Structure 1
Amino acid sequence: MRVMIVDDSTLARMALASTVATLYPNLRQIEARNADAAMGLVLAEHIDIALIDYNMPGRDGLSLAADLRDLYPETPMALISGNFQAGIIDRVKELNLTFLQKPRWHNDLAIFLSNAIKQLGG
């Protein structure tokens, strides 16, 4: 299975990648620093799970998630953000995403990945 990590912060990508690798060393990881780079990756290769930062330069994570939802309607996706305003949470629900709150996402990420892998039959 392949998980895509999208975050403009190198440190955040490294932290997510490290946590994913610790929890599920067999998951293959690909990383992107923004929404446009992520779309380039998913057009080149299939993803099974997406972890998406909300606040990025250019298009935000919700915009990317909407595009990914068109390509991969059943793919488990999580939006990671410290911004939990009602409008963002409403859009997360509309797009059938999981919301992981920064900076305390570690335990919720473990639960999300476990559920995602089960959903995908792994």
Structure 2
Amino acid sequence: MSLRLLIVDDSRMSRLILQGLVLQAHPQWTIVHASSGEEALQLVRENPVDLVSMDFNMNGMNGLEAALELRKIQPGVPIAILTANVQTAVQARIEEAGMAFIAKPVTASAASQLAALAGA
């Protein structure tokens, strides 16, 4: 199964680590990167995606704000918020918004949890 994954993180290293882990298990996937919520929204307007990994703490709009805006463009897309911010209140806000919470650091397990959202 080939799909288009959008990785949104202001850390280039985090994006590359997650990309590497995902492509090890799913080499046929297309990976698209954005370094901010605003950039992610522009990318999705131009070309829809099948799955989104979104960092929470970023400059400008945070990941949850960006994800909620992204859902207005692509209502059904699965979104996971990957963050080191593991506060219960943050997790609850993410889950109430109908998104998956995945704790950083980015690991093979995190990549597997992300892939599972797409049924892979």
Do these two structures clear the TM 0.5 threshold for a shared fold by scoring above it? yes
Unaligned runs of 5+ in 1: none
Q: Equivalent residue of 2:119, what SS?
A: helix
Unaligned runs of 5+ in 2: none
* Count of residue pairs the alignment pairs up: 118
Distance, in Å, in 2 between the alignment partners of 1:17 and 1:65 is 19
Q: Match for 2:11: what amino acid?
A: S
Distance, in Å, in 2 between the alignment partners of 1:74 and 1:21 is 23
* 2:86 alignment counterpart: 84
Q: Equivalent residue of 1:50, what SS?
A: strand
Displaced runs of 4 or more, over 2 A = none
Instruction: Identify which of 92, 98, 104 aligns with 2:100.
Output: 98
Q: Equivalent residue of 2:23, what SS?
A: helix
Q: Equivalent residue of 1:46, what SS?
A: coil
Q: Normalising to structure 2: TM-score of the pair?
A: 0.90
Q: Which has the higher contact order (CA 8 A, sep 6+)?
A: 2
Instruction: Tell me the percent identity.
Output: 30
Deviations 1:71-91 (A, max 9, x none): 222211100011111221121
TM-align CA RMSD: 1.4
Whether the aligned pair in 1 keeps the contact of 2:36 and 2:58 (CA below 8 Å) is yes
Q: Normalising to structure 1: TM-score of the pair?
A: 0.89
* 1:37 alignment counterpart: 39
Q: Match for 1:69: what amino acid?
A: R
Q: Equivalent residue of 1:29, what SS?
A: strand
Q: What is the CA distance between 1:112 and its match in structure 2?
A: 2.9
Whether the aligned pair in 2 keeps the contact of 1:2 and 1:30 (CA below 8 Å) is yes
